[in-house]
Chains A and B, each alone.
Chain A
Amino acid sequence: MNFMSTRPAIVSRALPLLMAGALLGVPIVVGVGYLVAGTLGIVGNAAPGGLQRALTDGAVLRSAALSLWVASAGTVIALLGALVVALCFGDEARDSRVARRIAALPLPVPTVAAAVAILLLLSQGGWLSRVAMRLQMIATPSEFPALVNDPLAIGVIVAVVWKELPFLLLVALSLQSLRGVALSDAARTLGATRLQTLRIITLPLLVRGMVPSIIAVFVFVLGSLELAMVLAPSSPLALPLLIQERRQALDMASHGEAYVIALLATVLALLAAVAHEWLRDDP
């Protein structure tokens, strides 16, 4: 690393910042700036007072609640599932490799495709509904519980778990393989039972190591348009859809709200980015 110190210090410090600024900073700043300007009514023909309106609008609050619910529930379930599988496979190298390969499958699947698949599976006209009918558990499609486009957004949560459990599983497996075995061996010979080791040593350390990934998953789900478009209910609308709807509405007041919500979502995401960076183990 010291090898490149033959360059003047200002280059090694300024250069990457300039590059990052140009490539990443500018679009972000412009994007956020536009949102801010829109919120303040400077551009985009939005009526002023958008911030206040947005925060008191019941529809906005319900959308936020829905999106936060989906992101939280999806992330938590995916995390629990990943932990269970990782701890089940963690200590046998061969099984862990197999688990890794299987887990790698849903990872590259584009979110749209995943959403379509879950829709085909869980909708009232979907495959599970047909099986239920064949097994004579229901008589008509509408007797099948509404799992997609429902107020609880169960369909979205299932899709989130499908896509994100494998990701979290891979993170957990890789964390475990680093020193998980040595830690649990040490604990066991010091007198801790399997359960005690799990509770006091393995799980806390694992979850701590996964916090950046958990944040990443949460943020991703919160902002995903595809999941909302395919699986989320139409009332309340998920946040990304709400933003879009307001943006494309005809009246200027709605435009303002769109900018505000987008800005708030962005601020949240950027805060999460800060937390993610701060909590990551720096090499």
Chain B
Amino acid sequence: MSLEVRGLAMQFGDARVGAPGMPHTMASTKALRAPGAATRADVPADAPSGLRDITFSVNGADCLAVLGVSGSGKSSLLRTMAGLQPRAAGLIRVCGRDVTALPPEQRSVVYLHQEPVLFPHRSVIDNVAFPLQVRGIAPREAGRRATEWLARLQVDELASRMPQQLSGGQRHRVALARALCAEPAVLLLDEPLASLDPAVRRDVGDALQVARRASGAAMVLVTHDLDDALAIATHIMTLGHGLQTALDTPDALLAAPPSLSVARLLGIYAELAGELIETAAGTTFRWAGGTVPSAETTASRARGAAVACVRAHDVHLQRCDASGILIDDPRAPRLTVVGRRDGVSEAWITLRDAAGANIGVRTGSGTDVRIGDGVQVTLRHARIFSPD
């Protein structure tokens, strides 16, 4: 089973009547406008009105997570792939078959809304058997298969209940069972874990894993939370400014994000502002806390303003000894700790440089520095980018 998408382009959100399942906090509801519509104060004037040049493929039983900020078009992408929204350009192939011109019911692509949409007038078992019923499969056989899927998702005891009687987690599982009962080649999940309590989240996350293994369908899930993506995805694709900005395995992406916007999207890096300069040793990144040889730079220019992205555990603070002598690198600038705030696994430390400017750094919470200490900062594995 596979899904292949090439050069896909679409407009953001048709003016559909009532799109439930969109959390009210999402700015995307305001960003979803057709081009030519009046700009509102909260949408930047140059915000893209659609996506283009989207290209990727997913093998069966693999899972692609699509990561992007609210309004980046993730839902529109899914809906276009499902056939619920027209595409402006590009091609979609499911199992080698070109489905671009086909209506939703013929694509073998199931779309799952963020809030499970169960048919309120049918019982759970009738909901799950629905895809078989519309295919003309006899009721007895349809019921048997539906029960099997309910069992696989561990909700078989709910078979005769009505959707209104189910809890949140149960509804998600039933919706999944129904989707899998349709034996799709592709499963599209729109923010499946958003707005769920942690416990329910784990529950539904487990259900998704079961689904992936049991069905062999290619999964594409959309999320704005990296943890959710990491939990289940075999590949991650990021969207930004109406384009695809990265497509790679999670490990590769985290180790080497291709651009500053992608790094920001991943949300795991601290940013330090500085500049790239030419030294005898080659191009070097210089910031208030010292210099970093820029072998690892992805900056587009060899000189000028730049941003270093570092994980918290790659920021190393070393206290100066009692006589104020720096230990690691005598030439590195000495910074003074002026503030410290501890989180669960990280500490936010405010440093002041010789010029009096404050810099915030994130480091591991085990760091042994106190306010008033003079420190020296070492950065490891810094990714240097040009500012966007």
- A residues apposed to B, CB below 8 Å: 90-94, 96, 176-183, 185-194, 196, 200-201, 204-205, 208
**Option from A90, A94, A182, A208 in Cβ contact (under 8 Å) with B113:** A182
Taking the closest CB of chain B, its distance from the CB of A210, in whole angstroms, is: 13
- Residues in A whose Cβ lies below 8 Å from that of B82: 185, 189
Expressed in whole angstroms, the Cα–Cα distance for A179 and B135 within the complex equals 24
The CB with the most chain B CB atoms within 10 A, among A176, A178, A191, A196, is that of: A191
Query: Which segment, of B117-125, B269-277, B284-292, B379-387, faces chain A?
Result: B117-125
Q: 7 closest A-B pairs (Cβ-Cβ)? A: A188-B104, A189-B111, A192-B134, A186-B117, A190-B131, A177-B18, A93-B15
Which residues in A have their C-beta under 8 angstroms from that of B119? 183, 186-187, 201, 205
Q: Is B19 an interface residue (CB 8 A)?
A: yes
Besides A188-B105, A190-B182, 9 more A-B contacts (Cβ < 8 Å) are A90-B17, A91-B16, A93-B17, A176-B17, A181-B18, A190-B179, A191-B131, A192-B134, A200-B134
What residues of chain A lie closer than 8 Å to B104, measured between beta carbons?
185, 188-189
A192 to B130, CA, bound (A): 9
At the interface, yes or no: B212 with Cβ under 8 Å from chain A?
A: no
CB distance B135 to A191 under 8 Å?
Answer: yes
Q: What are the residues of chain B within 8 A of A192 when measuring CB–CB?
A: 105, 130-131, 134
Task: Bin the interface of chain B by size.
Answer: 20 to 34
Closest chain A CB from B105 CB (angstroms): 5
B182-A182 in contact (CB<8A): no
**Is there an interface contact between B17 and A180, defined as CB atoms closer than 8 Å?**
yes
Please give the distance in Å from A46's CB to the nearest CB on chain B.
48
B21 at the interface (CB under 8 A from A): yes
- A182 and B17 in contact, given A187-B130, A192-B130, A196-B134 (Cβ under 8 angstroms): no
Contact assessment for B121 and A204 in the assembled complex, using a CB-CB cutoff below 8 Å: yes
Chain A residue contacts of B20, Cβ below 8 A: 178-179, 182
Chain B min CB distance to A183 (Å): 6
Minimum Cβ distance to chain B for residue A170 (Å): 14
Asked if B121 and A182 make an inter-chain contact with CB atoms under 8 angstroms apart, the answer reads no
* A279 CB, nearest partner CB in chain B, Å: 13
**Cβ of A193 and Cβ of B17 under 8 Å apart?**
no
The answer to whether A182 and B19 touch across the interface, beta carbons within 8 angstroms, is: yes
Complex: chain A residue closest to B81, CB-CB = A189
What is the CA–CA distance of A91 and B113 in the complex, to the nearest angstrom? 17
Asked whether, in the complex, the Cβ of A189 is within 8 Å of the Cβ of B109, the reply is: yes
Residues of B within 8 Å of A191, CB to CB, are 105, 131, 134-135, 182
Does B110 have its Cβ within 8 Å of any Cβ on chain A?
yes
Q: What is the chain A residue whose CB lies nearest that of B118?
A: A186
Q: Enumerate chain B residues within 8 angstroms of A179, measured Cβ to Cβ.
A: 18, 20, 117
Distance to closest chain A CB from B331 (angstroms): 63
Which of A94, A182, A204 is close to B21, meaning CB atoms less than 8 Å apart? A182
Q: How far is the CA of A201 from the CA of B135 in the complex (A)?
A: 15
A67-B83 Cα distance, complex, nearest whole Å = 49
Chain B residue numbers with a CB within 8 Å of A183 are 117, 119
Q: Among B16, B21, B111, B121, point to the contact of A205 (Cβ < 8 A).
A: B121
- Residues in chain A near residue B105, CB distance under 8 A: 188-193
Chain A contacts for B188, CB-based, 8 A: 189
Confirm or deny: B325 has a beta carbon within 8 angstroms of a beta carbon on chain A: no
Contact status of A188 and B84, CB under 8 A, knowing A182-B113, A193-B134: yes
Q: Does B103 contact A (CB under 8 A)?
A: yes
Contact, CB under 8 Å: A189 / B134 = no
Residues from chain B with Cβ under 8 Å of A186 in the complex: 111, 113, 117, 119
Contact between B15 and A92, CB atoms less than 8 A apart: yes
B101 to chain A, nearest CB (A): 15
Contact A93 B179 (CB under 8 A): no
Please name all residues of chain A whose beta carbon is closer than 8 Å to the beta carbon of B84 when the two chains form the complex: 185, 188-189
How far does the Cβ of A190 sit from chain B's closest Cβ, in whole Å? 4
- Interface flags for B163-190 (1: CB within 8 Å of A; 0: not) read 0000000000000001100100000100
If A181-B17, A182-B117, A201-B119 touch, does A189 touch B83 (CB 8 Å cutoff)? yes
Interface centre among A90, A185, A194 (most CB of B within 10 A): A185
Can you list 23 A-B contacts with CB-CB less than 8 angstroms, sorted by A residue number? A93-B15, A93-B17, A176-B18, A180-B18, A181-B19, A182-B19, A182-B117, A185-B82, A186-B113, A186-B119, A187-B130, A188-B83, A189-B110, A189-B111, A190-B105, A190-B178, A190-B182, A191-B134, A192-B105, A192-B134, A201-B119, A204-B121, A205-B120
